[in-house]
């Protein structure tokens, strides 16, 4: 185990890591939380135990100079059916109608332990707190009111440094989540702090156009994202997808995920809109981690970098080193079935690639092209020897997600993959031995929003200094990777999202 830290030892960095005087950066933190849950415990006990972990993370984040800390979706309580979900709900007041500070109004909020605790965490640590919780709103008389007389909203809340409630946002896209109700209308998810203007979103929102639209507002400094993510290879693995989202939208993303490997959830980080990952973790071993990074708001070159990852358990904390060490070669549920130890046995899924066109790379170097429904994809590459199976895949059309949700994608991806049954490219290993020295991937997309990604063996993000992405005026998108010593690449991908072609979202 790495060197242990104490709050006293890290407190000395407080003065040099917070938001600077001229506004060129702020210091952000995200907490990847291994949520506590036991079916034998009461809802209150589950909430209180998880909030103890949140308090500890907020204290450490503040001691490291963080201006803001973001917590994951479903980090305080688990997703559940409606009757069980109601036990975790609290009625969140509207901060647009009146000033609300649950930490100062202790008597009024004595039974609302989530609101009170989050507010006091912010006030006691002088840090902005963003977290997810359930918002119960009475709705008798509303024609859409559920039979039990309440709306259950999955909500993000933000508290200012003094504990004041700054905003609440109701999730606009639910992924199943049958214990919750959809937001009643589209909302303005932005709020202001003394160090910038931020937008907040949750979970499934990232797959739709509104989050990208708001991210592109010039007034927004960063997007704060709470999630319990489902990893899907080859292009929608948590940190890989979030870095590509930040690059596609030229906006910093602070992504806080749960750490429950058996539920396909692992990986969190802070991703800059031009430089990519400032700090991230992807290591499925069931330990909570706090990721802190200095986030440039102006010229990247003028801001001295700072980042850290701290492992946190009930009894101790330590500086986290060797991230990625616990990534297995195989995580596919298709091959492994469900895990029996959800905090130890990592699982992932595959994207729905039924309608992709695949062409195999057969020579150590060369070029391959493939087309699908009018979109053509081309890869030129050079390896030290092609000892494993790699395919070029291309898709253009309406993508069906888990047999329930649909949107329009254009995809061009080169990936390490293995056969299964009659499918030559069906599952995607997490490790490889094939060294690539050069790769040029390009496609003739129509999409204006293209997510680029390059990952290597062990699900590590290839440094941005080694690859470049461009979307050209003629709507040609490409990735160029060059490194003389090479890297063991897993995936290089371009994922175009044609939001204007999406069918209407249906619950």
- pLDDT digit string, tens, across residues 415-435: 999 999 999 999 999 999 999
**pLDDT tens column, 157-181:** 999 999 999 999 999 999 999 999 9
- Looking up tokens 């066109």, which residue turns up? 357
What DSSP element (H or E) covers 61? helix 43-63
CB 335 within 8 A of CB 421: no
Looking only at the bridges linking them, the beta strands covering 252-257 and 222-227 are parallel
* Average pLDDT, rounded, for the chain: 94
pLDDT for residue 12: 39
pLDDT tens figures, 193-218: 999 999 999 999 999 999 999 999 99
Residue-wise pLDDT tens digits, 294-334: 999 888 888 889 999 999 999 999 999 999 999 999 999 99
All structural domains of the chain with their residue ranges: 25-320, 353-501
Q: What percent of the chain has pLDDT over 90?
A: 92
Is pLDDT at 108 greater than 70 in this prediction?
A: yes
pLDDT (tens digit, 9 = 90+) per residue, 18-53? 666 458 999 999 999 999 999 999 999 999 999 999
Give the pLDDT score at 8: 39
pLDDT of residue 20: 66
Cα–Cα distance list, 395 to 355, 389, 408 (Å) = 7, 19, 10
DSSP annotation of 300 reads G
Tens of pLDDT along 57-79?
999 999 999 999 999 999 999 99
Write down the pTM of the prediction.
0.95
Rounded-to-integer distance, Cα 258 and Cα 419, Å: 31
- Cβ contact 206:225 at 8 Å: yes
pLDDT tens readout for residues 280-295: 999 999 999 999 999 9
Residue spans of beta strands (DSSP E) within 282-353: 288-296, 307-312, 317-319, 349-350
* The predicted structure's pLDDT at residue 290: 98
Specify the CATH architecture of the domain 25-320. 4-Layer Sandwich (3.60)
Check pLDDT > 80 for residue 7. no
- DSSP string spanning 432-475? --PPEEEEEEEEE---SEEEEEEEETTTEEPPGGGEEEEE-TTS
How many angstroms separate the CA atoms of 201 and 3, rounded?
35
């Amino acid at each position: 185990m790495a060197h242990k830290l104490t709050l006293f030892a890290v407190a000395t960095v407080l003065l040099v890591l917070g938001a600077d005087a001229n506004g060129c950066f702020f210091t952000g933190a995200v907490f990847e939380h291994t949520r506590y849950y036991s079916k034998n415990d009461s809802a209150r006990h589950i909430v209180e135990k998880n909030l103890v972990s949140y308090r500890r993370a907020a204290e450490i984040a503040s001691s490291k100079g963080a201006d803001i800390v973001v917590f994951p979706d479903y980090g305080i309580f688990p997703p559940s059916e409606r009757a069980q979900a109601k036990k975790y709900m609290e009625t969140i007041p509207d901060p647009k109608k009146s000033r609300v500070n649950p930490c100062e109004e202790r008597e009024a909020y004595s039974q609302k332990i989530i609101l009170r605790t989050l507010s006091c965490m912010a006030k006691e640590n002088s840090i902005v707190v963003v977290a997810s919780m359930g918002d119960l709103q009475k709705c008798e008389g509303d024609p859409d009111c559920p039979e039990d007389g309440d709306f259950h909203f999955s909500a993000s809340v933000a508290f200012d440094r003094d504990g004041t409630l700054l905003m609440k946002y109701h999730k606009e896209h639910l992924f199943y989540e049958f214990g919750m109700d959809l937001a009643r209308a589209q909302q303005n998810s932005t709020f202001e702090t003394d160090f910038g203007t931020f937008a907040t979103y949750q979970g499934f929102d990232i797959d739709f156009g509104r989050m990208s639209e708001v991210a592109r507002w010039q007034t927004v400094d960063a997007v704060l994202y709470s999630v319990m993510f489902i990893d899907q290879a080859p292009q929608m693995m948590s940190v890989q997808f979030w870095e590509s989202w930040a690059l596609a939208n030229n906006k910093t993303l602070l992504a806080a995920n749960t750490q429950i490997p058996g539920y396909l959830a692992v990986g969190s980080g802070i991703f800059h809109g031009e430089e990519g990952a400032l700090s991230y973790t992807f290591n499925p071993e069931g330990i909570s981690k706090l990721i802190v990074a200095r986030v440039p708001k102006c010229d990247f070159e003028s801001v001295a970098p700072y980042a850290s990852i701290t492992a946190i358990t009930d009894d101790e904390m330590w500086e986290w080193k060797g991230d990625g060490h616990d990534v297995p070669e195989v995580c596919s549920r298709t091959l492994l079935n469900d895990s029996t130890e959800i905090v130890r046995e990592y699982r992932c899924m595959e994207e729905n690639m039924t309608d992709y066109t695949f062409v195999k790379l057969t020579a150590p170097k060369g070029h391959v092209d493939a087309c699908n429904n009018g979109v053509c994809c081309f890869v030129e590459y050079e390896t030290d020897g092609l000892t494993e199976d790699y395919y070029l895949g291309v898709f253009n059309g309406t993508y069906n997600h888990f047999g329930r949700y649909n949107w329009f994608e254009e995809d061009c991806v080169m990936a390490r993959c293995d056969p299964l049954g009659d499918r030559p490219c069906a599952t995607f290993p997490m490790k490889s031995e094939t060294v690539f020295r050069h790769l040029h991937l390009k496609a003739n997309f129509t999409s204006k929003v293209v997510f680029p990604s390059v990952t290597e063996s062990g699900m590590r993000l290839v440094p941005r200094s080694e690859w470049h992405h461009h979307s050209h005026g003629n709507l040609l998108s490409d990735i160029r990777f060059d490194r003389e010593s090479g890297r063991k690449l897993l995936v290089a991908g371009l994922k175009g999202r044609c939001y204007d072609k999406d069918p209407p979202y249906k619950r």
